[in-house]
A and B are shown apart, each in its own frame.
Chain A
Amino acid sequence: MAVIRDMIPAFELFQPTSVDDALSLLAQHGDDTWVLAGGLDSFDWFKDRIKRPKVVVELSGVEELKGIRSTEDGVEIGAMTTLTEVATNSEILANYGLLAKAASQVATPQIRNQGTLGGNVSQDTRCWYYRGGWPCYRAGGNICYASAPQAMNREHCIFGADRCVAVNPSDTAPTLIALDAKMIVKRANRERVIDAEDFFIGPGTDITRMTVLRPGDLLTSIRIPATWAGASFYWEKVEDRKSWDFALVSVARAMRVSNGSITEARVVVNGVAPYPMRLDAVEAAVRGRPLSEETAQMGGEVAIRRAKALRHNDYKLPLIRNLVRRALRGRPA
């Protein structure tokens, strides 16, 4: 069990100034190495003494990981670019407003000034049993405290449970999937380009990780192709508090409409599964349909077909159904 303490235990710190240096440090120090970006998620773990890496690689000095640049096919956003920059960048606002909107609603102004896009998509789940240091499946144990009969699981998942019922907390992640973003992941001598949809993984794939990133990997940038530039977008985040909070659930939608019919749509929800979840069945069901109340109603029903509530989170079923309906009505975000 966690005892909240306010000092960070000592670690060996490295501050590389280039991606190559960072990658060789990660290769050299192996499994017990922590990649530190904005620190919003990391320091929480360190101060609670629940995660205690021996080595920390701090990336704030790696200039090549920062900034937003236009490419031949869209934009490329360095992993260490702050959420404030993402939310206020003119090209992202003009063409990929879905991402700007989600980034502008992450936590507080101070946190958006520090927090990075790479960190926002790599952050760990907020399940309080896991974050409280309980030895659950995700922490290497053999029980899920959040699905025990007496568990408090109001914020947990309605899809994709596999021993663990925690959800992904990122606001930007579902928008990146909706925009068909590509995650650039490097490790010594190797670069992978991973679809955002495949970057996030569930407990069935690896119960100890939220993303494909393994020790030694570094997410260096996120490329957004022009595929959905200027499309119709919808973003909505539902929180317990009106001012700011982690999302209970969120929906990101990109859509193209021609002659009153939906030609193509991407609908992604978060806060309902251990990974941001693309609603393929909804997308297929609405493709070619008229943009109408009937289509929206139908899409909402399809969205929750295979949902399975825990004891305290059945409210998420009508919530997601209604959010998907709103998203499909075609009004802008």
Chain B
Amino acid sequence: MENSPNRPAGKVPISLIVNGEHTEIAFAPHKTLLEVLREDLGLTGTKHGCELGECGTCAVLMDGQPVLSCLVLGVACSGRSISTVEGMADGPTLHPLQKAFADLGAAQCGYCTPGLLLTAEALLLDNPSPTRQAIKEALAGNLCRCTGYIKIYEAVELAAAWMRGESAEPAREILYGQR
């Protein structure tokens, strides 16, 4: 039988853990994890970008490691633990990375932000005091076309300080520019 994108394919049931919750779900086997998250689970925080592995905006954490959800089949995630941007805040309390991104203007159009937040979260779990170079390397797969990255690096550094329990505040030049 000719393969056709229009041919309804049978659904495959799998169970996975999304943001800490056990989830049973059935979907067509050729769907990517990104499509499953957005279309079948309604978690639209994870964004479609290049679909080819070049931009990083679809990044989610799989068992704690950043991966590109547009390049993983949903069915390959059976039993795995997936974290999306929706799972970062604790109720009304933003994750320190989210707060730092907001405070410092590290998000402009915001399209790259979910992938950056999750990739940075994985970095800080692994290395609570990363150097600027380590941050650059960890975030190298996440493209941002607005910020020029400086504010993103500064936000990750500020969030890292908060997460280490330091009462850091952004420098005035970071918030208001050079006087």
> Is A154 part of the contact surface with B, judged by Cβ < 8 Å?
no
A-side contacts of B70, CB under 8 Å: 43
Please report A residues at the B interface, Cβ cutoff 8 Å: 4, 6-11, 13, 15, 36, 38-40, 43-44, 46-47, 52, 54, 56, 58, 60-61, 84, 107-111, 113-114, 243-244
A111 and B30 contact, Cβ closer than 8 Å, known pairs A43-B70, A58-B76: no
6 pairs, A vs B, C-beta closer than 8 Å:
A15-B75, A39-B73, A43-B53, A43-B71, A108-B56, A109-B66
Contact in complex: B3, A10 (CB < 8 Å):
yes
Contact in complex: B76, A7 (CB < 8 Å):
no
Contact in complex: B140, A39 (CB < 8 Å):
no
A-side contacts of B150, CB under 8 Å: none
A9 and B140 contact, Cβ closer than 8 Å, known pairs A60-B76, A113-B66, A114-B68: no
Query: How far apart are the CA atoms of A108 and B115 in the complex, in Å?
Result: 13
- Mark B62-76 against chain A: 1 for CB-CB distance below 8 A, else 0: 100111101111011
The residue in chain B whose Cβ has the minimal distance to the Cβ of A39 is B71
> Is B119 part of the contact surface with A, judged by Cβ < 8 Å?
yes
> Is B4 part of the contact surface with A, judged by Cβ < 8 Å?
yes
Give the distance to chain A from B83, nearest Cβ to Cβ, in Å. Answer: 14
A-side contacts of B72, CB under 8 Å: 39, 114
Query: How far apart are the CA atoms of A189 and B128 in the complex, in Å?
Result: 50
Give the distance to chain B from A45, nearest Cβ to Cβ, in Å. Answer: 10
Interface residues of B in 80-98 (CB under 8 A from A): none
Query: How far apart are the CA atoms of A109 and B119 in the complex, in Å?
Result: 9
The residue in chain A whose Cβ has the minimal distance to the Cβ of B122 is A109
A-side contacts of B65, CB under 8 Å: 84, 113
Please report B residues at the A interface, Cβ cutoff 8 Å: 3-5, 7, 9, 12, 28-32, 35, 48, 51-53, 56, 59, 62, 65-68, 70-73, 75-76, 78, 119, 136-138, 140-141
Give the distance to chain B from A51, nearest Cβ to Cβ, in Å. Answer: 11
The residue in chain B whose Cβ has the minimal distance to the Cβ of A52 is B3
Contact in complex: A11, B30 (CB < 8 Å):
yes
A-side contacts of B28, CB under 8 Å: 10
Query: How far apart are the CA atoms of A278 and B31 in the complex, in Å?
Result: 41
Query: How far apart are the CA atoms of A43 and B137 in the complex, in Å?
Result: 25
Contact in complex: A58, B73 (CB < 8 Å):
yes
Give the distance to chain A from B11, nearest Cβ to Cβ, in Å. Answer: 12
Contact of B51 among A6, A10, A54, A111 (CB under 8 A): A6
Give the distance to chain A from B119, nearest Cβ to Cβ, in Å. Answer: 7
A109 and B141 contact, Cβ closer than 8 Å, known pairs A10-B30, A114-B72: yes
Contact in complex: A110, B68 (CB < 8 Å):
yes
Query: How far apart are the CA atoms of A16 and B13 in the complex, in Å?
Result: 16
- What 10 A-B pairs come out closest when comparing CB atoms? A108-B141, A13-B29, A10-B9, A9-B5, A60-B76, A8-B30, A6-B51, A113-B65, A110-B141, A243-B140
Give the distance to chain A from B122, nearest Cβ to Cβ, in Å. Answer: 9
Contact in complex: B140, A244 (CB < 8 Å):
yes
A-side contacts of B56, CB under 8 Å: 108, 110
B-side contacts of A114, CB under 8 Å: 67-68, 71-72
Query: How far apart are the CA atoms of A221 and B48 in the complex, in Å?
Result: 34
Give the distance to chain B from A25, nearest Cβ to Cβ, in Å. Answer: 14
A-side contacts of B119, CB under 8 Å: 109-110
Contact in complex: A109, B140 (CB < 8 Å):
yes
A-side contacts of B3, CB under 8 Å: 9-11, 52, 54
Query: How far apart are the CA atoms of A236 and B5 in the complex, in Å?
Result: 43
B-side contacts of A47, CB under 8 Å: 51-52
Contact in complex: A10, B76 (CB < 8 Å):
no
Contact of B75 among A6, A13, A84 (CB under 8 A): A13
Contact of A108 among B4, B73, B140 (CB under 8 A): B140
A-side contacts of B137, CB under 8 Å: 109
